[in-house]
Structure 1
């Protein structure tokens, strides 16, 4: 009997990665395309084309999508979709009707969390916190061996934990959220302050890796802010692992070392002594593998 295969699609604001995935999280084939966000119709047509490209005569059991938006799991709709034009679309039902298979949908950070849990740094764990550091700070939770999504599916917005009431503005309209202190744009600003307007977070990280003291300290300050959030999550959820990924998360120990120092000071025993704070393993494949697992979740929920 041929093993079941699904298609997972990680939809980004600029690029979309899709793959044929099995239940073990193994990728059979993947493709990358630019995301056409010029209109809703263009976006949906592009996603349809990607699915059909990968299908190409294969027997595909389900589709899974990770999107850069909160998702109402009851309706299958994007909630507060900012970077992609999906507002008002019955996304799950539309894709099921178009492609004739079960469809799962979740936000991109949840998809990355599920990917790392099934096939990466958190494989085998039952309690996991994941943070994705990029343009913003995304987050996901695995609690008692199950993805946690909240009452309507829009929970686990870990980047929006408030760590400073009078802190800097957040893109969501709030103030002092973790995202305001630990996302990639914070590193961009630090780089410009240190090296001039042409610099960015990538340069800051490269200089930090070379051991330049100013860069190391700037990243350490971001890491300490990150550690404040991590300590809070550890105190509330007592996870086995905190996994840190995303584009800016590749700064690795330049952030995680200082973060662990704050955790050691602010975390409660025994959780602070048993939890491991580790880098993600799957890189940009985390989201697409997770989207594949979301597809299997939708398939298994079928009557």
Structure 2
């Protein structure tokens, strides 16, 4: 059996069919448009579905989400800020299918728990460090869903020293310091002349002092957030993925140093932090797997 899976992000949309063993079929992607986002999603879903009989559709969306109401209002998709009824829209497209809907970080974390770096680990925090910072939580081998489907918003843990206003409206969220765009913005204010997170990582590897400082700043903030989450949740493992997490030792070394400095409670001494294994497709994999479990 397979499920049709959709990943709705602030910069890209993706869809694929997913098997029960986590194998993805042909993946189709498109940049997230400024308007007409659902039309673009529907076009992807139809293309991936083809002539197949679709009985299950899994949707992973950037948050905040409301899985009870079936709506999503991603911070990075202005077109949906008032809340979009994504479950109803998918149901109208596939009237006979079971629709399952979850936050993208939860789907990515569940995929790592089933098939990736957290395979078989009962207590896991997943983090996706990219355009924003999201995540998901697995405790005692079960996905934590919470009241509205939003556990794992680790990007909005407040870190020491940050006073910048976040896109969520709060002050000092780790996302304002450690996401790719936030790090690039800070580096440019210091005089760096690159354009994106990938260039920032390359500049740091080449020894550019501003780029090195930007990644050190980001890694330190991520370590502070992980230490806080670890103390709260008593986890075995933290899995960190996302495009900006690929920045290498210039990001990861200060992250580990920060955890060592802040996670000092005795039950945190065995907390492990590793890179995600499934890459950018883990979210689709998790959306499909969660849907098939409930079908």
Q: How does the TM-score come out when normalised to structure 2?
A: 0.90
Aligned counterparts of 1:220 and 1:79: Cα–Cα separation in 2: 32
Partner of residue 186, structure 1: 182
Give the match for residue 56 of structure 2.
62
Separation (CA, whole Å) in 2 of partners of 1:196 and 1:252? 19
- 2:106 equivalent to 1:110: yes
Between stretches 277-286 and 147-156, larger displacement belongs to 147-156
Paired position in structure 1 for 2:214: 218
Matches of 1:15 and 1:45, distance apart in 2? 14
- Cα distance in 2 between the residues matched to 1:79 and 1:198: 31
Describe the shift of the 1:227–1:14 C-alpha distance in structure 2 as closer, same or farther (beyond 3 A).
Answer: closer
Structure 2 CA distance for aligned equivalents of residues 168 and 15 of structure 1: 26
Partner of 1:283: 279
Question: For residues 108-143 of structure 1, what are the alpha-carbon distances to aligned partners after superposition, in whole Å with 9 as ceiling and x for unaligned?
Answer: 222222222222211211111111112221121111
Partner of 2:93: 98
- Who is 2:45 aligned against? 51
**What does 1:66-215 align with in structure 2 at a 5 Å threshold?**
66-79=60-73, 82-83=76-77, 85-86=79-80, 87-99=82-94, 100-164=96-160, 167-212=163-208, 214-215=210-211
Local SS of the residue matching 2:269: helix
- Gap change, CA 1:279 and 1:9, over 3 Å in 2: same
Asked if the contact 2:237/2:272 (under 8 Å) is kept, the reply is yes
Taking a change above 3 Å as real, the CA distance of residues 88 and 215 of structure 1, as seen in their structure-2 partners, is closer
Shift of 1:6: 0.6
Distance 1:92 1:195, change over 3 A: same
Count of equivalent residues: 293
Secondary structure of 1:7's match?
A: strand
Helix, strand or coil: the match of 1:48? helix
Structure 2: runs of 5 or more not aligned = none
Name the TM-score, length of structure 1 as normaliser. Answer: 0.87
Distance (whole Å) between structure 1 residues aligned to residue 78 and residue 21 of structure 2 = 30
- Could you tell me how far apart the structure 2 residues matched to 1:44 and 1:63 are? 15
SS in 2 for 1:168: coil
Q: Which consecutive unaligned segments of at least 5 residues does structure 1 have?
A: none
RMSD: 2.2
Q: Distance in 2 between matches of 1:225 and 1:244?
A: 14
Whole-angstrom CA distance in 2 between matches of 1:50 and 1:201: 27
